[in-house]
Structure 1
Amino acid sequence: MPSATPLRQPAAATHGRIQNSGFRAHPLLRNPHLQTMLPALLRPRPPLDLRRERLELDDGDFVDLAWAGTEQTGAPTAVLVHGLTGGFESKYLRGLALQLIDLGWRICALQLRGGGESPNRLARCYHHGDSADLRHLWHLLRRREPEGIVATVGWSLGGNVVLKALGEEGDQAPVDFAAAASVPFSLYECAERLRHGVARIYQSHLLGALRRMIRHKASRVDLSAIDLDAVLSAPDFFTFDDGFTAPLNGFADAHDYYARAACGPYLQAIRRPTLIVHAQDDPMMVREIIPRAEALSPFVTLQLSTHGGHVGFVEAGPRGRPRMWLERHFAEYLQRQRVEHEGASRAVA
């Protein structure tokens, strides 16, 4: 049986499912800000040996890949896509990679265009709607191993990119199943949320990282098409995206970018088993953006939890030690899908 075909068509279903994720927050870490900040600031970076590959693109630019785990031909491959200002060093990405490697998976981490230490060659950088490079990678992996299992996981911005790419590919998606967490389904509301209250701390942190990236890029790449001083002094994401993201990526302005880059309108077009995990207390978003079941494809399951923060989901492990529930949950989901897929392939053969 060829890979990258739907394993099951949901019988008579017209939309996706929304269910409780089963996540129980650590009793001392129910606050959404603690859930968000503890894994990012206090968690040691999981050690992971990476094999780097530079993937040249048709437009003269490149993206970097990092491979880990088995090099055995035919092993299942998990493509991991980081969030805004993330990359190969992201702790959540490394944590999931280690769990999957223990289960015999091969890891292919995609560092989105302009992420990481090396600026990309073109003026443009990655953004929430930048799904073309991921789709290119999917098709490349499918050509390399036509019968191999390919799964994809994305977090935050990376989750938006994954879901948008799945919807764009539809029935032709060259992946077998996917997962995403803490996804900004509607970008305008998220940008507005980050302008107010405690959420401004996250906005300041993210914009600071983006400014550093742009300064580094400007020392090597011609950015004369934008007002660099205005971008570097942008007080919020609306101003930043108006001055940087939109003009360098073909959008009229920030509002046009938010409308066209958000994954929400693409969820109904997804045709591969997909799990989305989202916390209702995510401090970077508002509850109103969480889609209803009618907005989801029959192939999509949205799991919600009361607590969890943004890419947090810290539970109590043995002796009450904090443990990263989301990574274990995703690893278990991908492994179940793998077993089901392999069983279906043997039955057909």
Structure 2
Amino acid sequence: MTARLDTSPCPVPKWLPDRHSQTLYAALAASHHRIAFVRERVQTPDGDFLDFDWAGPGLSPNRVPPDASPAAVAIPEKVAATRWMTAHDWQSLPTLSETPALILFHGLEGGSSSRYAQSIGQYFRARGWVVVIGHFRGCSGHPNRLARAYYSGDSEEIGFMLQTVRARLPHARWHAVGVSLGGNALLKYLGEQGAAAGWLQACAGVSVPLDLVAAGICLSQGVINRQLYSRYFLRTMKKKVLEKASRYPGALDVGRIAHARDLREFDDAYTAPLHGFRNALDYWNRAACKPWLAHIAVPTLVLNARNDPFLPEPALPGPNECSDSVLLHQPAEGGHAGFPTGPFPGHLGWLPQRLARYFETQR
């Protein structure tokens, strides 16, 4: 049994001629529709918390519900969620068994304000879906409580987040999308669970670094990858971790973390030891989702542009490496988590439309 392979193009504009321009423009400048959310905070079994940003029929992010006061539900930080969820909000959401629902897992240092999350969220919400963005620890605008954070292979956390939203709307027809790091964790979870994840209608991984060793080496080499992308991620990652160090004296190697020059050095100093791995290479090998693609039983789209600057094309899986529940879509262009299209100034409409087509037709 093998996966299907789709190589049809993403029609990126000629004025974005290469992988870097497609990636950076989509992440930093491309036009997109905006969406506001209502936030729920969920306590985790280990004493931490996760923030879920909800949108859907019946939810009014900019209107205070009758069971609360403006001060009680206000979120002071500048995030895509405008207020906290109340009991009245849960009563307002649809409970019909045919209600379509989508949870999105963001990429490294992403969240509900990320352009891809905004674009996907608005597209599906406008079509009557319930949409929720599940934030990994420390990515919602609030520092998490523990010294640990999040990592690419945390399928246990994915399972907790999925069961949380399922418990909120148990009769909905749930779908899941993971972008980049979030996609790796989601696909690994789907492979580990096999048929047990069959309550999900369909899933998708977008621009997933399926082979974390190849991706990690790629991002740690070359002027643009090392000096631009890695520095961009490290800027916020270091800040968060060094803030944790002030709360957990002696638990973190502050010197190594502060002087990390690329993701390998950062993962060696922080991500690997804090999450049970020997070093970055051990982490990348054990957390990668690629070996799990053959065990996925839920209909799943795996979308990777062949010019993604974060993952070398030879590291992309072939049909014989995946189960027949998987559709591999590998267009030649699109960059990383971007897929911009249209005449200048362009837009991000292609990606949510591609996801919707797969969810509707599995093609």
Range of TM-score over shorter length: 0.7 to 0.9
What per-residue deviation string (whole Å, max 9, x for no partner) do you get for residues 45-95 of structure 1? 643221100111111111110001222113221000110010121110111
Structure 1 position 169, deviation (Å)? 1.3
Q: Choose which of 163, 183, 194 in structure 2 pairs with 1:170.
A: 194
Cα distance in 2 for partners of 1:213, 1:330 equals 32
Equivalent position to 1:272, from 285, 290, 298: 298
How far is the alpha carbon of 1:122 from its aligned partner? Answer: 1.3
Q: Residues 316, 230 of structure 1: CA spacing in aligned structure 2 closer, same or farther, 3 A cutoff? A: same
Match of 1:73 in 2: 95
Give the percent of matched residue pairs that are identical in Structure 1 and Structure 2: 36
- Number of aligned pairs? 322
Give the partner amino acid of 2:124: L
In 2, the alpha carbon distance for the partners of 1:119 and 1:57 equals 14
Query: Which aligned pairs between 1:86-165 and structure 2 lie closer than 5 A?
Result: 86-165=110-189
- Contact 1:30-1:307 within 8 A present in 2 as well: no
What SS class does the counterpart of residue 323 from structure 1 fall into? coil
Deviation at 1:333, TM superposition (A): 2.5
TM-score (norm 2): 0.84
**Which residue does 2:61 correspond to in 1?**
none
- 1:314 partner SS: coil
Does the C-alpha gap of structure 1 residues 175 and 332 become closer, same or farther in structure 2, counting only changes over 3 Å? same
The residue that corresponds to 2:69 in the other structure is none
1:24-35 aligned at under 5 Å gives the runs: 24-35=11-22
Q: What pairs with 1:1-349 in structure 2 (closer than 5 Å)?
A: 14-43=1-30, 46-70=33-57, 71-74=93-96, 75-173=99-197, 174-197=199-222, 198-200=224-226, 201-219=228-246, 221-222=247-248, 224-316=250-342, 321-324=345-348, 325-336=350-361
Q: Distance in 1 between matches of 2:215 and 2:47?
A: 33
User: 1:141 Cα shift?
Assistant: 3.3
Cα distance in 1 for residues equivalent to 2:319 and 2:166: 31
Distance in 1 separating the partners of 2:134 and 2:360: 20
Partner secondary structure for residue 337 of structure 2: coil
Aligned to 1:7: none
Shift of residue 223, structure 1, vs aligned partner: 5.3
CA deviation vs aligned residue, 1:108-154 (integer Å, no higher than 9, x gap): 11001222221111111101011212211222333444432110011
CA contact (8 A) 1:67 1:106 kept: yes
State the 1:332 CA deviation: 3.0
Q: 1:144 to 1:69 in 2, by over 3 A?
A: closer
In 1: Cα distance, 2:165 partner to 2:37 partner:
18
Q: Give the Cα separation in 1 of the matches to 2:169 and 2:39.
A: 19
Contact 2:300 2:327 in 1 (8 A): yes
Q: Secondary structure at the match of 1:171?
A: helix
What amino acid is aligned across from residue 2 of structure 2 in structure 1? H
In structure 2, stretches of 5+ residues that fail to align are 58-92
CA deviation vs aligned residue, 1:257-300 (integer Å, no higher than 9, x gap): 00111110111111100011111111122112101111111100
**Distance between the aligned counterparts of 2:132 and 2:296, measured in 1?**
22
| 1:335, distance to aligned residue in structure 2 (A) | 4.0
Cα distance in 1 for partners of 2:27, 2:12 equals 16
| SS in structure 2 at match of 1:124 | coil
Provide Cα deviations, 1:208-259, integer angstroms capped at 9, x if missing partner: 121122233334x315222112112101222111110011001111111001
8 Å Cα contact 2:268/2:280 also seen in 1: yes
Rounded Cα–Cα distance in structure 1 between residues aligned with 2:12 and 2:182: 24
Q: Counterparts of 1:179 and 1:236 in 2: how far apart (Å)?
A: 28
Determine if contact 2:9/2:332 at 8 Å carries over to the other structure. Answer: no
Contact 2:30 2:345 in 1 (8 A): no
Partner-residue secondary structure (3-state), 2:304: strand
Contact map agreement 2:9 2:333 (CA 8 A) in 1? no
The Cα of 1:313 is off from its aligned counterpart by: 0.9
**Structure 1 stretch 43-52 or stretch 262-271: which is displaced more?**
43-52
Q: Shift of the alpha carbon at 1:206?
A: 1.1
Give the drift of 1:330.
1.4
CA distance 1:33–1:222, shift in 2 (3 Å)? same
1-side partners of 2:332 and 2:209: how far apart? Answer: 17
Task: Give how far 1:331 is off.
Answer: 2.8
- Letter matched to residue 310 of structure 1: H
What is the one-letter code of the residue matched to 1:164? K
Give, as a single letter, the amino acid of the residue that structure 1 aligns with 2:275: N
Q: Which runs of 5+ in 1 are unaligned?
A: 1-13, 341-349
- Give the distance between the partners of 1:222 and 1:45, measured in 2 at CA: 40
Would the alpha carbon gap of residues 217 and 225 (structure 1) be closer, same or farther in structure 2, given more than 3 Å must change? closer
- Alpha carbons 1:163, 1:263 under 8 Å: kept: yes
Amino acid at match of 2:229: Y
The one-letter code of the counterpart of 1:260 is: R
Contact persistence 2:6–2:327 (CA under 8 A): yes
1:152 alignment partner, SS class? strand
Amino acid at match of 2:181: L
